[in-house]
Amino acid sequence: MNIGLIPGWGGTQRLTCLVGRTKAKEMVFTGKMIDAKTAEQLGIVNMAVPADKFRETVRQFALDLASKAPVALRVAKALIDKGAEIGLDSALALEREGFGVVASTEDLQEGVKAFTEKRKPVFKGK
């Protein structure tokens, strides 16, 4: 707005999905810049960290994800992405299918066993 343009590359649509219609209008219409902490509070970014902590924060985040069950992560990611594009009933049907997929994995068995044994699971992506 400040130079006579609108957000491109789907910016108006993605922003609306992230922050809601009213806040998106305010942000687009005023053209005001926001800082990283505000972007975090609005849900535009997952987390705001100081530059000197960036690498370590990303590394820890990646290690945390790498310790999770790969099949369950893949299914959850697909369900969240697809669910955002379709109606609730269709999304719930997809979720039931996804639940069936992960319920039959060796990783689920390992996760339950590790939980009962009070240890960290070792997932194999199977």
**From the candidate CATH numbers 1.10.12.10, 2.30.130.10, 3.30.200.20, 3.40.50.150, the one assigned to the domain spanning 49-126:** 1.10.12.10
Alpha-carbon distance 98 to 88, whole Å? 15
Domain limits, the chain: 1-48, 49-126
Task: Report pLDDT digits (tens) over 64-111.
Answer: 999 999 999 999 999 999 998 899 999 999 999 999 999 999 999 999
Mean pLDDT, range 20-26, rounded to an integer:
95
pLDDT band at 2 (very low <50, low <70, confident <90, very high): confident
**Phi-psi category of 17—alpha, beta or left, where left has phi over 0 and alpha has psi -120 to 50?**
alpha
* DSSP-H helix ranges across 1-126: 11-19, 21-30, 36-42, 54-66, 70-83, 88-103, 106-116
pTM of the model: 0.75
Mean pLDDT, range 49-64, rounded to an integer:
96
Q: What pLDDT does residue 33 have? A: 92
Could you tell me which residue, 8 or 111, shows the higher pLDDT?
Answer: 111
User: Is the model's pLDDT at 1 over the cut of 80?
Assistant: no
Taking alpha carbons only, the member of 24, 40, 41, 31 closest to residue 4 is 31
